[in-house]
């Protein structure tokens, strides 16, 4: 399971990561792998960042410098994602 973070809103929660664009505007399409039992809050990114993901077919050294990850607690992640359009990749 994930590491924990102390969220100002939710207190101690599991940490999750999203791109800076989703953190700033979560009401847009979210791209990620499908949530699973092992990873219920997969790293997520927006359509802008997905362009770089699709160039390589994965996040790696050639494209990871294009994405700036922001830390969210899992409760914030779930709240933001519920109001967005999702597309597992």
Identify the residue whose tokens are 């914030």: 76
Q: Please tell me the predicted confidence (pLDDT) of residue 84.
A: 82
In this prediction, residue 86 carries a pLDDT of: 59
Reported pTM = 0.87
What pLDDT is recorded for position 6? 96
Domain that holds residue 12: 4-88
Query: Based on the structure, what is the number of domains in the chain?
Result: 1
CA-CA-CA-CA torsion for 70, 79, 50, 2, nearest 10 degrees? Answer: 60
DSSP state of 35: P
**What is residue 35's predicted lDDT score, i.e. its pLDDT?**
93
The alpha helices in 4-86, defined as continuous H runs, are: 20-24, 47-56, 74-82
Confidence at residue 48, expressed as pLDDT on a 0 to 100 scale = 96
pLDDT tens digit at each of 89 positions of the chain: 569 999 999 999 999 999 999 999 999 999 999 999 999 999 999 999 999 999 999 999 999 999 999 999 999 999 999 888 655 55
């Amino acid at each position: 399971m994930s590491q924990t973070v102390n969220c100002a809103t939710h207190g101690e929660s599991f940490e999750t990561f999203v791109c800076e664009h989703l953190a700033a505007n979560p009401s847009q399409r979210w791209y990620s792998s499908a949530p699973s039992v092992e990873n219920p809050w997969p790293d997520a990114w927006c359509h802008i960042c997905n362009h770089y993901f699709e160039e390589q077919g994965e996040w790696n050294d050639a494209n990871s410098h294009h994405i700036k990850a922001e830390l969210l607690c899992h409760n914030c992640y779930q709240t933001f994602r519920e109001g967005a359009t999702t597309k597992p990749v």
